[in-house]
């Protein structure tokens, strides 16, 4: 006779997570953005987590998936890029950082649940955005990810234009995050932005009550 487990069913269920992340290229740099809500199922476990993680001076990544897994990948890449830059005597390329993320994600694809968007500036390629998922590495003009992305694909497809200015890209990111956070229950809190160009990285936090609102809000 089989014994029935005394553990509640929720212990064996997969924990659902959610977020909204975005990155976009402009002439001379990139803009990254994310919400700040960390959720586990229907529970909000952190309201103000910064999901834009520094990989090097002018390279950041936007985190989605399991917060612990994504942070672990970012810390591993940050360490390897620091060592690499010391060895070669110059700042690493954005593509090198994205390749490291891709390799780690693919190597541990059975153990880790994370999706990172890597973006930054280097003297060879200028502003660059890369999406990484398992063994995939692809450069994109802009990229969105996380559970909130499903609510804003129509918006970004309609509003994106080539050769947007830095200010236009910043507003594009803020508007996208605001819409996703208003629709997706797993996204919310404040909006974090990082603008990266030849001069360096500029971080900004926009409070929830300062985000733009739209007609049906």
Residues 6+ positions from 189 with CB-CB distance below 8 Å: 35, 36, 37, 47, 48, 49, 181, 208
End-to-end CA distance of the chain: 57
Read off the pLDDT band of 44 (50, 70, 90).
Answer: confident
Query: Percent of the chain scored above 90 by pLDDT?
Result: 75
Distance CA 74, CA 116 (A): 9
CATH number for the domain including 149? 3.60.20.10
Angle CA 204–74–198, to nearest 5: 50
Instruction: Say what the pLDDT of residue 89 is.
Output: 94
* Residue 209 located in a structural domain: no
In which domain, by residue range, is 132 found?
20-199
**Total number of domains constituting the chain:** 1
* Residue 216 located in a structural domain: no
pTM score, two decimals?
0.89
The pLDDT mean for the chain works out to: 90
Mean per-residue pLDDT, 149-176: 96
* Residue 149 located in a structural domain: yes
Look up 19 and say whether it is catalytic.
yes
* Residue 212 located in a structural domain: no
Instruction: Say what the pLDDT of residue 79 is.
Output: 97
Catalytic member of 17, 19, 20, 176: 19
The backbone torsions φ and ψ at residue 16, rounded to the nearest 5 degrees and listed phi first, read: -85, 135
Instruction: Say what the pLDDT of residue 40 is.
Output: 75
Distance CA 158, CA 14 (A): 34
Strands across the sheet with 126-133, in order? 52-56, 59-65, 114-122, 126-133, 136-139
Mean per-residue pLDDT, 165-173: 97
- Tokens encoding 8: 């509640």
Instruction: Say what the pLDDT of residue 6 is.
Output: 61
Instruction: Say what the pLDDT of residue 14 is.
Output: 55
For residue range 93-129, list pLDDT tens digits in order: 999 999 999 999 999 999 988 999 999 999 999 999 9
Mean per-residue pLDDT, 57-84: 95
* Residue 142 located in a structural domain: yes
Instruction: Say what the pLDDT of residue 47 is.
Output: 87
Angle CA 154–141–109, to nearest 5: 85
Question: Which ranges of 32-151 would DSSP assign to H, the alpha helix?
Answer: 67-88, 94-107
Residues 6+ positions from 122 with CB-CB distance below 8 Å: 58, 59, 91, 92, 93, 94, 128
For residue range 125-161, list pLDDT tens digits in order: 999 999 987 788 999 999 999 999 999 999 999 999 9
* Residue 175 located in a structural domain: yes
For residue range 183-214, list pLDDT tens digits in order: 998 899 999 999 999 999 999 999 989 999 88
Nearest C-alpha neighbor of 212 from the set 159, 162, 163, 164: 159
* Residue 7 located in a structural domain: no
Distance CA 74, CA 60 (A): 9
* Residue 115 located in a structural domain: yes
């Amino acid at each position: 006779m089989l014994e029935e487990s005394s553990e509640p069913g929720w212990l064996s269920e997969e924990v659902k997570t959610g977020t909204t992340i975005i990155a976009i290229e402009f002439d001379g740099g990139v803009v990254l953005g994310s919400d700040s809500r960390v959720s586990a199922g229907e529970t909000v476990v952190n309201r103000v987590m910064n999901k834009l993680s520094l990989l090097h001076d002018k390279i950041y990544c936007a985190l989605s998936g399991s917060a612990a897994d994504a942070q672990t990948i970012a810390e591993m890449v940050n360490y390897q890029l620091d060592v690499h830059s010391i060895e070669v005597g110059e700042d690493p390329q954005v593509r090198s950082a994205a390749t490291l993320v891709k390799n780690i994600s693919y190597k541990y694809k059975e153990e880790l649940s994370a999706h990172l968007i890597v973006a930054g500036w280097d003297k060879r390629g200028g502003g660059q955005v890369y999406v990484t998922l398992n063994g995939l590495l692809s450069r994109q003009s802009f990229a969105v990810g996380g559970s909130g992305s499903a609510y804003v694909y129509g918006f970004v497809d309609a509003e994106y234009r080539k050769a947007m200015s830095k200010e236009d890209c910043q507003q594009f990111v803020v508007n996208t995050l605001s819409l996703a956070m208003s629709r997706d229950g797993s996204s919310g809190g404040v909006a974090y932005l990082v603008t990266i160009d030849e001069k360096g990285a500029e971080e900004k936090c926009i409070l929830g009550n300062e985000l733009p609102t739209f007609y049906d809000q």
